[in-house]
Amino acid sequence: MNGEQSKIEILAPFGAAYEWMKAMLFRPFDVAKWLTIGFAAFLAGSWGGGLNFGRIGRLGGGDWKYRVTSDGNLPGDWNVPAWAIALVVAGVVVVVILAFVLMWVAARGRFIFTDCVVKNRGAIVEPWREFRREGNSFFLFSLVVALAMILLTAILILMIVGALKLSSHHEGPFVVVILGLIVLGLVWLAVTLFFALVTQFMVPVMYRRRCSAREAFLDASRLMLRNPGPFILFVLFGIVLLLAVGIVGAMISCLTCCIGGLPYISTVLLLPAIVWLAAFKLLFLRQFGEQYDVWAAVGFPQVQPAVAQPPGPSLPPPSSA
């Protein structure tokens, strides 16, 4: 694979993805297909929205903070009724269950949206059933990773708090502790970014091979470790693209009085960019061989598109929608 790194391109699949997006959404333009693909992208996690939950943490400020922290009026002295405690516990349980359900739907939605992009169609029910096993496998994998990252984050926070308390009375080891925590934080950040990037390519691998999430994770990890250069360029280029999409989304939200920032509506309005980026990722990955080409399993006759495309099998023609 190292000998093929010079063939891996960034701009060529980006241009081919643009042509594929136009073929999907504008040749011809179909409102029903547009809305269906937008719903598939919405299920996959492209929610958009301009809701700001940061204000929740500031509710009841001012006098409330004074009452809580003043002497003789500590939280332990509160006379909280039993029904309020039960209500809080029930709310936490509902939020946790809702988070699990959304993760499960998003895991299945990733395969639905990938299927829409690959087969140039707007379909929900058929791919939902077809990729049930792969979607559930990816959900369980994502759940384990999320719980592990939460646990690691909690351990890191406890270590930081404990280290700061221990070093507060000793100025000598304070610098050493801080440096150690910085290194630990960088390692945590690197692991988080690595998992975030690998999961982006797991779905295409699972879609192509119909394998489990564990197999896809190992395969995608090995591919990235063998070819760090192209993937680093992909990440850097992707960050620029995401920033551009974010700016466009913010402008649309402002021009539509925040209506364009609502979930699903923002997805529909930004669908060309979302499809473009999704096709770009698939076209970038297919350069590494037929085993990573999601179009290879479709069975469409192969033709050359009107634009230059990355090395590998040619793009399939748009299917009739």
Span 45-70, pLDDT tens digits: 875 433 333 333 333 444 434 444 44
Q: Please indicate, yes or no, if residue 99 is contained in any of the structural domains.
A: yes
Work out how many domains the chain is built from and give that number: 1
pLDDT in tens, 211-267: 999 999 999 999 999 999 999 999 999 899 989 988 988 888 888 888 878 888 999
In the prediction, which pLDDT does 158 show? 79
In the prediction, which pLDDT does 196 show? 86
Q: Please indicate, yes or no, if residue 287 is contained in any of the structural domains.
A: yes
Q: Please indicate, yes or no, if residue 108 is contained in any of the structural domains.
A: yes
Q: Please indicate, yes or no, if residue 273 is contained in any of the structural domains.
A: yes
Q: Please indicate, yes or no, if residue 71 is contained in any of the structural domains.
A: no
pTM of the full predicted structure?
Answer: 0.76
Q: Please indicate, yes or no, if residue 176 is contained in any of the structural domains.
A: yes
In the prediction, which pLDDT does 167 show? 62
In the prediction, which pLDDT does 64 show? 38
Q: Which domain holds residue 10?
A: 2-51+81-292
Q: Please indicate, yes or no, if residue 313 is contained in any of the structural domains.
A: no
Q: Please indicate, yes or no, if residue 300 is contained in any of the structural domains.
A: no
Residue stretches of the chain with pLDDT short of 50 = 1-5, 48-74, 300-313, 315-321
Which residues lie below 8 Å from residue 306, measured CB to CB, with a gap of 6+? 19
